Amino acid sequence: RYVTIIGLLAALLWLPLLIACVTLLVGVVVYMVCLRLPGKVAVPWERLIALEKNHGAAVMRMLGWFVDVPTGERKVNHRRWLSWIGRKLPWKQEQAFRFLLTRTFIRTELMPTISRFTLFGVLLVLLTRESWFGVAVYLLFIIWSGMQMTMLRKQHTDTLWLSIYPLPPAARRLETIRLITFVQLIIAVVLWIPLASTGNITLLIGTLIAGIAVVWIQRASLNRKWLRELKLEEEFE
C-alpha cells in the first residue's frame, strides 16, 4: 500500500498530466484487484501459538529457579526417595494436614526452588563470610526463604474434602506455620555453616541467634496476619 501511494504521488509530480492521470487510474484499478486476490501466504496461527507457549514456559522455568512463580499447570513429581518423610509422621487426626502439606512440599516445585535458593545463599555467604556483609546476606536469605515458603498457604485452598473431613478448625493454619518454621530453621542452620570457618565464636553464636530470631519473628508475623484475615472473613460472613 505504501509503495503504491508513493509511486502514484511520484507519477502526479513528475509525469505529464495526461499520463499521470492514466497512471493513477491504472494504479487504483490494479490495487483494488490485488485486494480481492486471496492471500498467497497463510499465517500459521497454530505454530505461532505453540511457539509462544514454549517461549512462555522457558521464561517461567528460568524464573522458577529461585522464585516459585504461578503457572497455569502445576507439575507434580512423586520423588519416591523422599516419601519416607511423610511416613514418619504419626497418623493422627490433628496431624493429618501436616502429612498433606509435607507431601505437597516434597512433590511440587517449591522444594527444588527452595533448595536452589539455599545453595545460592550458601555460596554468597561463603564469599562474604569475612565481613559483616556476610551476616547481612545470611539474614537476608533467611527472610527471603520465609517469604517463599508462604506459598504453602495457597496450597489446597480450593480442596473440597478439607471442608468434609473432621479436621480441627485451626489445623491448616497451625500445621502450615509449623512446617514453614521447621524448613526455615533448617535453612538457617545450612546457611550458617559457611560462617564456621571465620573462627570468631562471638560472631558465630550471635549470627545463629539472630537467624533463629528472624525465623520466629516471621512466624509470629505470619500467624498474626493469618488470624487477622480469618477475623475479617468471619465479619464479612
Q: For residue 213, what pLDDT is reported?
A: 93
Q: What is the pLDDT of residue 47?
A: 82
DSSP 99-147: HHHHHHHHHSTHHHHHHHHHHHHHHHHHHTTTSHHHHHHHHHHHHHHHH
For residue 152, give Cα distances in angstroms to 84, 156, 221.
20, 9, 16
Residue matched to cell numbers 525465623? 215
The pLDDT score that the predictor gives to residue 215 is 92
pLDDT of residue 184: 92
Secondary structure element (H or E) that encloses residue 75, with its range: none
Supply the pLDDT for residue 217.
92
**The pLDDT value given to residue 197:** 75
Cβ contact 110:179 at 8 Å: no
Query: Would you state the torsion angle of the CA atoms of residues 97, 103, 108, 112, taken in this order, to the nearest 10 degrees?
Result: 120
Find the angle CA(116)-CA(122)-CA(223) to the nearest 5 degrees. 70
The tally of CA atoms less than 13 A away on the side-chain side of residue 77 is 10
How would you class 35 by CB atoms within 10 Å of its CB: exposed for 0-12, middle for 13-18, buried for 19 or more?
A: exposed
Q: Which pLDDT score, from 0 to 100, does residue 186 have?
A: 92
Largest CA distance in the chain: 99
Given the C-alpha cell 517469604, which residue does it identify? 147
The whole-number pLDDT of residue 133 equals: 84
Q: What is the pLDDT along the chain (237 residues), one digit of tens a residue?
A: 788 888 888 887 888 888 888 888 888 888 888 877 766 556 777 888 888 887 777 776 666 655 555 554 555 555 665 665 656 666 666 667 777 787 778 777 778 888 888 898 899 888 888 778 888 889 999 998 888 888 877 776 666 666 666 666 677 788 888 888 999 999 999 999 888 777 778 888 888 899 999 999 999 998 888 888 878 776 665
Q: What pTM was estimated for this model as a whole?
A: 0.61
